[in-house]
Amino acid sequence: MNGLLLFYRTVSLLTAVLPRRVAYAAAKAASAGAYRNRHVIRRAVAANLRIVFEARGLAMSDSELAQMARSTFDNFGKYVVDFFQLGRLSPAALDQLVKVEHIEYLEQCRSMERGIIGLSAHLGSWELGANVLERYGCRINAVVRPQPSARLDALFESRRANRGISVLPMGGGASFMSACLKRGELVVLLGDLDFSAKQRRTSFFGKPARLPRGPAVLAARTGAPILPAFILREPDETFRFCLYPPIIPDQFRSIDDIQGRIRSVLEEVIGNHPDQWFAFNPVW
């Protein structure tokens, strides 16, 4: 555990002094070592990617999957750099770095005056989305998975606080999230990976998997719209912040129907950017 804390503290210090392109080069070297040495994780990533591609009608060879898995490791290294380096950007710098698509969906959700449930995934550089949303006047509360140690938690929470994010521990309670929504705030949940193993299985990329039901349940109970939002890396190392049409719970008959729409959005965005999806454990 001390080694993990040392790693993230080192990254934090290096990204404070290194230009972004140099930090990315260092991250790529580190990810190459992780890819070589973390055999179980490497196999899990390749197995997950195989199912994603098969669902899209693409038969990938082992070498093609290995190349895509390596790209996933590289992209995760860049995400770690982004997390520590891009905490507070000026409006001008943010405009240069991030292109926002369909901001009208945010305004549509705001007009309902029920608060907003932000739906994202372990994809791209998802924490950078808070920079964008804060600029548009959102007060952000994010449900996050606790880190393995209190000191590591403190390191990550301090960086999130710099982005204007209030952290809600996973399992912190629906009543607290409901209170945030009643104040007109935004509660962000990740809908792609279930770390509790308590959810019932549902079809995901054509095979049974466990997906978090929290966003669907919270929407059904509060009436708050779900706003799918993903920040995706471009080839030139800029980003697109993609907003999808709101999922309005009043328009669905059941929680399962809401969950079905969430699943469809996740399949679309992950299927289009598979090497930016950071699923390092078996999903299926």
> Judging by beta carbons within 10 Å of its beta carbon (0-12, 13-18, 19+), is residue 258 exposed, middle or buried?
buried
Per-residue pLDDT tens digits for 183-202: 999 999 999 998 776 778 89
Which residues make beta-bridge pairs with 123?
277
Q: Cα dihedral sign for 140, 141, 144, 149?
A: positive
Rounded to whole angstroms, how far apart are CA atoms 25 and 227?
34
Predicted pLDDT at 25: 93
The tokens for 1 are: 């555990």
pLDDT of residue 3: 58
Q: Is 260 exposed, middle or buried (0-12, 13-18, 19+ CB in 10 A)?
A: middle
| Residue range 61-119, pLDDT digits in tens | 999 999 999 999 999 999 999 988 887 778 899 999 999 999 999 999 999 999 999 99
Torsion angle defined by CA atoms of residues 121, 127, 133 and 135, in that order, rounded to the nearest 10 degrees: -160
Residue 172 has a pLDDT of: 59
Calpha distance 160→156 (Å, rounded): 6
pLDDT in tens, 194-236: 877 677 889 999 999 999 999 999 999 999 999 999 999 999 9
**Neighbour-count burial for 177-202, b at 16+ CB within 10 Å, e otherwise:** bbebbeeebbbbbbbbbbeeeeeeee
In this structure, which amino acid lies at residue 224? Answer: A
Q: Which runs of E-coded beta strand occur in 107-171?
A: 116-120, 140-144, 165-169
- Contact indicator for 125, 149 with CB cutoff of 8 Å: no
Q: Do the beta carbons of residue 280 and residue 168 sit within 8 Å? A: no
Residues 6 or more apart whose Cβ sits within 8 Å of residue 116: 106, 109, 110, 138, 181, 185, 186, 187, 224, 225, 227
The model's pTM is: 0.91
For the chain, the domains span: 1-85, 88-278
Secondary structure (3-state) at 204: strand
Residue pointed to by tokens 């005056």: 113
In sequence order, the 6+-apart residues with CB closer than 8 A to the CB of 255 are 213, 216, 217, 220
